[in-house]
Structure 1
Amino acid sequence: MTSVFETSLSGLLTGRVALVTGAAGALGASICHAFTRAGAEVVGADLVEGGACDLVADVATAEGNRLMVAEAVRRHGRLDVLVLNAGVQFVAPIPEFPEEQWDRLMDVMAKGPFLAMKAAWTELTRRSGSRVLITSSVSGMVAEPFKAAYVSAKHAVNGLTKVAALEGAPHGLTVNAVAPGWMSTPMVERQLPEQMALRGLTREQVLELMLGRQPVKRLIGTDEVAALFALLASDLTSAVTGVCLPADLGTLAS
């Protein structure tokens, strides 16, 4: 059965070529699906196969990003939309936070988007109307205990978004971020036991704490967030650049 999101997106991105990182994950797969439904040619990249991934690449490295962009252009002759969605998580108090985990998270979610834009910049600025979209988080605007690297990386991404928007403006390139709240994904599910142990709470208590700041008390569907990405990738939002748009059920307003 076709969802309301799919019906609304039909034809919105016809003729566009999009490269989506983190395509093996729940949100990445939803973004790929939404873009395909909207008419785009989509290349889904990830470090591992699965989901909507059809190109294995390490987005934490300069070489991985160069090869990823080159392959997308080779397949389709151009690149119009770059969606930097790859994400990882590690939860621990600062005194116990392993340095290698700090580096891993920062490489994937802060340095990775910089390297991807650097690799794709010439292609994206070849013609006016290209888009860069980055997955940020509510954690990029506020903070959470035990997530030093994740929160820092998402704050960094929001700054990078603004700089790239300023540099892209003369070329007709827009750069925006999307900040989801708590989504119904395996990554969120995997955090629950860690949060239970760190906080000494039950699963139900952790979920209640997670949703406590949300005026709407439910997890967000990845299709809801993916629809926002598709809209930002379209010509309908050509005046929007340099911003981080929350999809958080009112969390940041509360």
Structure 2
Amino acid sequence: MAKLDHNSDGQRSQAGGNKLEGRVALVTGAAGGLGKAIAAELRERGAAVHGVDIAGDGVFHADLAAASGNRDMIAHVLAVAGRLDILVLNAGCQFVAPIDKFPDAEWERLRGVMLDGPFFAMKAAWAALTKSPGGRVVVTASTSSFGGAPGKAAYTAAKHGVLGLVRVAALEGAEHGLTVNAVAPGWMDTGMMRDQLEVQAATMGVSTDEVVTRFRAAQPAKRFVDVREVAATIGFLASPAASGVNGVCVPITS
């Protein structure tokens, strides 16, 4: 009889565990509401967390749309911590306009932050993540990864594309015990959502309050997703308990 393989991620003794003691995590977009919640969740589970954003207090600053910015942030964490076990690619941005009026620079910015950036980050971190027993990558996708909305060509295209990247990375990392997954939140009450209310209101021809009402009504439970719900799911995917979850995207809608 052929010998059955066992879990090779070096964490057999923690099978089913959700703690992250001794693990080093990096969270991008860590200065925003969701990023802060993710960092807090991982710290609560015991990880040493390093935050990265383009601006903000208490985080390493890097241009996450550029290959050099992603290389710099990975090099920084490795220089400070000596290892990297968990990479959470959460950085995001938004711009709303119809296709014929969509600025070229905004298309490139959104694609850069949400599709090019995750690729460059994974590439720069790959050696460290595959060396780490049970390495983890989690990418913040969106319910826009499965559909579309007027005015959101760049955001929707980037969020569709990142799922393809996740699936390929999951296949390539599997032999090393590295898992790569995504989460897809619905509408959350975050700064990025609030920043687009006026544009959405103008596009729909309604008030900003009506836009909020419609956004909320589109959710199954008629409420916004709490950032802590998303962070908790990411915490699970980053944990030893999720060693058998790879190449999937978890929708999170309230």
- Please indicate, yes or no, whether the TM-score normalized by the shorter chain is above 0.5: yes
Instruction: Note the 1:52-71 alignment, pairs <5 A.
Output: 53-71=58-76
Map Cα deviations across residues 59-115 of structure 1 (whole Å, 9 max, x no partner). 111111111001111111100000000001000011110011000000000000000
Asked if the contact 1:11–1:39 (Cα under 8 Å) also holds between the matched residues in 2, the reply is: no
Q: Letter of the aligned partner of 2:35 in structure 1?
A: G
Aligned counterpart for 1:158 among listed residues 163, 170, 185 = 163
Q: In the alignment, which residue of structure 1 is the partner of 2:9?
A: none
Separation of aligned partners in 1, 2:18 and 2:236: 11
Q: Secondary structure at the match of 1:125?
A: helix
User: Is 1:20 matched up with 2:27?
Assistant: yes
Asked if the contact 2:148–2:156 (Cα under 8 Å) also holds between the matched residues in 1, the reply is: yes
Q: In the alignment, which residue of structure 2 is the partner of 1:92?
A: 97
Asked if the contact 2:18–2:241 (Cα under 8 Å) also holds between the matched residues in 1, the reply is: no
Q: Secondary structure at the match of 2:52?
A: strand
Separation of aligned partners in 1, 2:33 and 2:77: 21
Q: Quick check: 145-154 or 11-20, which moved more?
A: 11-20
Q: In the alignment, which residue of structure 1 is the partner of 2:211?
A: 206
Q: Quick check: 173-182 or 10-19, which moved more?
A: 10-19
Q: In the alignment, which residue of structure 2 is the partner of 1:33?
A: 40
Separation of aligned partners in 2, 1:153 and 1:56: 22
Q: Secondary structure at the match of 1:91?
A: coil
Aligned counterpart for 1:174 among listed residues 166, 170, 179 = 179
Separation of aligned partners in 2, 1:164 and 1:185: 29
Instruction: Note the 1:220-235 alignment, pairs <5 A.
Output: 220-235=225-240
Structure scoring higher RCO (CA < 8 A, sep ≥ 6) equals 2
Q: Letter of the aligned partner of 1:32 in structure 2?
A: A
Aligned length: 238
Asked if the contact 1:11–1:37 (Cα under 8 Å) also holds between the matched residues in 2, the reply is: no
User: Is 1:46 matched up with 2:46?
Assistant: no
Following superposition, the deviation at residue 189 of structure 1 comes to 0.8
Structure 1: gaps (5+ residues): 1-9, 250-254
Q: Quick check: 197-206 or 112-121, which moved more?
A: 197-206
Separation of aligned partners in 2, 1:114 and 1:24: 21
Q: Letter of the aligned partner of 1:88 in structure 2?
A: C
Q: Letter of the aligned partner of 2:234 in structure 1?
A: F
Map Cα deviations across residues 4-56 of structure 1 (whole Å, 9 max, x no partner). xxxxxx97111110000001111001101111111000000001023xx4211
Q: Percent of counterpart pairs with the same letter?
A: 53
Q: In the alignment, which residue of structure 2 is the partner of 1:121?
A: 126
Q: Secondary structure at the match of 1:145?
A: coil
Q: Letter of the aligned partner of 1:44 in structure 2?
A: G
Following superposition, the deviation at residue 209 of structure 1 comes to 2.2
Q: Secondary structure at the match of 1:196?
A: helix
Q: Quick check: 147-156 or 57-66, which moved more?
A: 57-66
Instruction: Note the 1:113-152 alignment, pairs <5 A.
Output: 113-152=118-157
Q: If the length of structure 1 is used for normalisation, what is the TM-score?
A: 0.91
Following superposition, the deviation at residue 223 of structure 1 comes to 1.0
User: Is 1:218 matched up with 2:196?
Assistant: no
Q: In the alignment, which residue of structure 2 is the partner of 1:183?
A: 188
Root-mean-square deviation (CA, aligned residues, Å) is: 1.2
Q: In the alignment, which residue of structure 1 is the partner of 2:111?
A: 106
Q: Letter of the aligned partner of 2:37 in structure 1?
A: S
Q: Secondary structure at the match of 2:196?
A: helix
Q: Letter of the aligned partner of 1:74 in structure 2?
A: A
Following superposition, the deviation at residue 172 of structure 1 comes to 0.6
